[in-house]
Structure 1
């Protein structure tokens, strides 16, 4: 039986940046948030994670964002969501 992670960090990054000045994609995120499992599942069937204005259905196995709301709205065109393991804190 697999264990569903309790938290992830979601990074919102611009898809179309020509020069990041040596910064990694993760370091040039326009917004980031640590989201925590709610214990509920979304319409996608995957666990819902919430935090800091972000609500996301995340496939914990592949770390794919299946659904996402930022401050109650869909993600703007030109932005993409990346998922990484949240630092313990």
Structure 2
């Protein structure tokens, strides 16, 4: 069985940001949150992470956000949820 990462950083980034002019994705995020593994599987079948008002099911292999709630609601149109390259220890 593969080890599930304990935490990720989820970034909410506007979809219209096409060219960041060399800036990091983190600089374009309108919100970010460190989310911790809950020990549960989400409805999507992927591990569930929770923190700072965000509940996310994340595929730990591809680091894709498969399901997401922000403050109890679905993500607003025009925003994309990404997993940051930075993963705190």
Fold match by TM threshold 0.5: yes
Work out whether 1:87 is the aligned partner of 2:88. yes
What stretches of structure 2 of length at least 5 have no aligned partner? none
SS in 2 for 1:68: strand
**Any unmatched runs of 5+ in structure 1?**
none
**TM-score scaled by length of structure 2:** 0.89
CA, structure 1 residues 19+4, in 2 after alignment: closer, same or farther (shift >3 Å)? closer
- Secondary structure of the residue aligned to 1:8 is strand
The TM-score normalised by the length of structure 1 is 0.89
- How far apart are the structure 2 equivalents of 1:62 and 1:39? 19
The count of aligned residue pairs is 88
Deviations along 1:60-82, one digit per CA (max 9) or x if unpaired, are 11111110000000000110011
Question: Is the 2:17–2:28 contact (alpha carbons within 8 Å) kept by the matching residues of 1?
Answer: no
Deviation at residue 27 of structure 1 after TM alignment: 1.5
Q: Matched residues in 2 for 1:18 and 1:3: separation?
A: 34
